[in-house]
């Protein structure tokens, strides 16, 4: 039933495993220049750990710490033990680099294979990885997990949609890994090519790498004729494989034998009650080359109460609702981009793409949303288009509490990325 028996470990046994691994992690982290200084200043050591809750004694680690200690400040072993490097783009300064030993890569692949098994993938599945390869962790991380599970793995990479479709059809692909925004675009291409969802071979899609709503997931499932499973990962914690849905699709199991999970108030930095949204904080428990203690992900989510019907005992987090640093404040109202998507993806008239633009009019910020409309609704009847425009604005107002300006545009006219979608444009400096 499970890929690894640890998935159903009793909570007391899991807590003891976490305690032992946290103690070992702290001891190993103290070998790095960064944590040697940080732990000494705080008067902490492996002896400070007697339970998983003791994680709260330790100081938080942030992205700026990784950047300011680039490239080897977090390293805990001889460089000759390293076999892989992944990094962020680093377009605004030093990137955040993550270093892996051979054991790190093996444990990462096993975690990703566990995720895939939990959504129904098995040895013999044909898996197409529609993600970028290179320094981005999503490509190679997912690739090696699929091979670990025993799937025939096609490293298709991102882009060239028609070629992707040909590979899927020719090799009877049963599972995909694809970014949500690209999956929506992919579905529109299938429509143009006259390929019905029921004739599309895959039964499973793994989606992640960018926040998306359940409404977007449902639309992906409808367009591609499969089940789409939400995933969560970040390069600082290896990459994909940190948390994953199971076939119940009721939250993502976060693998607590590999990570300690906290949800804190991003302002007070105190823990929030179970079920309340806060910032996700993670600690690695099995990393050799570069362990990280209490990393502030900036991602907003909540711990879901109760145990999943699948029987796995590892706690679940809700889908990522946004980032602590991507909140928009318009006319004094706090707005997250995911709120806009949640509304738009429930409307049949709306296409797969939209763009949020922040403008300045005089001294006030204004919100403009460009929305692609399905072809059958984009007609010359101006009264009909005006009515649709008002309908969208009204529904958005009910969710975000302000009335945005809504522009209706034809399908395919907004910029379409084959990587992570850029949903928000700040045009205030150009106004």
CATH number for the domain spanning 293: value is 3.40.50.12780
End-to-end CA separation in angstroms for the chain? 58
- Position 429 scores a pLDDT of 64
* CA separation for the pair 26, 372 (Å, rounded): 50
- Position 91 scores a pLDDT of 47
88 plus 137 within the same structural domain: yes
Rg (alpha carbons) of the chain, rounded to whole number? 22
Q: At what angle do helices 382-400 and 337-344 cross, to 10 degrees?
A: 130
362 plus 266 within the same structural domain: no
| Helix residue spans in 266-351 (DSSP H) | 337-344
Single out the residue of 56, 49, 51 nearest to residue 30, CA to CA.
Answer: 49
190 plus 298 within the same structural domain: yes
Q: Which stretches in the chain have pLDDT values below 50?
A: 91, 431
Last residue of a domain, one of 324, 341, 371: 324
96 in Cβ contact with 66 (< 8 Å) = yes
Number of structural domains the chain divides into: 2
82: left (phi over 0), alpha (psi -120 to 50) or beta: beta
According to DSSP, the β-strands at 424-426 and 405-410 are: unpaired
254 plus 344 within the same structural domain: no
Q: At what angle do helices 180-192 and 161-170 cross, to 10 degrees?
A: 80
């Amino acid at each position: 039933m499970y890929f690894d028996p640890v998935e159903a470990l009793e909570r007391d046994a899991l807590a003891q495993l976490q305690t032992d691994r946290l103690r070992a992690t702290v001891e190993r982290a103290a070998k790095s220049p960064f944590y040697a200084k940080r732990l000494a200043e705080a008067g902490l050591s492996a002896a400070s750990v007697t339970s998983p809750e003791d994680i709260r004694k330790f100081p938080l680690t942030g992205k700026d710490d990784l950047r300011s200690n680039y490239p080897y400040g977090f390293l805990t072993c001889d460089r000759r033990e390293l076999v892989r490097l992944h990094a962020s783009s680093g377009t605004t300064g030093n990137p955040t680099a993550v270093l892996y030993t051979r054991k790190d890569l093996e444990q990462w692949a096993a975690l990703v294979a566990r995720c895939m098994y939990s959504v129904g993938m098995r040895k013999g599945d044909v898996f197409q990885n529609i993600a970028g390869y290179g320094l981005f962790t999503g490509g190679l991380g997912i690739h090696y997990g699929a091979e670990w599970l025993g799937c025939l793995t096609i490293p298709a990479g991102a882009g060239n949609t028609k070629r992707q479709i040909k590979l899927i059809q020719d090799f009877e692909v049963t599972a995909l890994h694809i970014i949500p925004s690209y999956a929506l675009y992919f579905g529109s291409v299938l429509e143009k090519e006259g390929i019905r969802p029921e004739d599309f071979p895959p039964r499973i899609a793994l989606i992640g790498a960018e926040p998306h709503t359940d409404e977007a997931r449902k639309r992906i499932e409808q367009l591609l004729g499969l089940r789409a499973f939400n995933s969560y990962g970040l390069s600082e914690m290896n990459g994909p494989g940190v948390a994953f849905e199971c076939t119940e699709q009721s939250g993502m199991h976060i693998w607590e034998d590999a990570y300690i999970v906290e949800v804190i108030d991003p302002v007070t930095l105190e823990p929030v009650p179970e079920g309340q949204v806060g910032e996700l904080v993670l600690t690695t428990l099995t990393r050799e080359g570069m362990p990280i203690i209490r990393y502030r992900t900036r991602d907003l989510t909540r711990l879901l109460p109760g145990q999943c019907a699948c029987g796995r005992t590892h706690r679940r987090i809700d889908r990522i609702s946004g980032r602590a640093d991507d909140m928009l404040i318009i006319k004094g109202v706090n707005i997250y981009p995911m709120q806009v998507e949640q509304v738009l993806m429930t409307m049949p008239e709306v296409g797969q793409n939209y763009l949020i633009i922040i403008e300045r009019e005089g001294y006030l910020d204004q919100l403009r949303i460009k929305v692609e409309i399905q072809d059958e609704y984009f007609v010359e009847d101006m009264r009909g288009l005006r009515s649709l425009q008002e309908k969208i604005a009204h529904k958005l107002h009910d969710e975000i509490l302000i009335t945005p300006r809504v522009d209706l545009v034809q399908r395919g006219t907004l910029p379409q990325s084959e990587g992570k979608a850029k949903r928000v444009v700040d045009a205030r400096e150009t106004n």
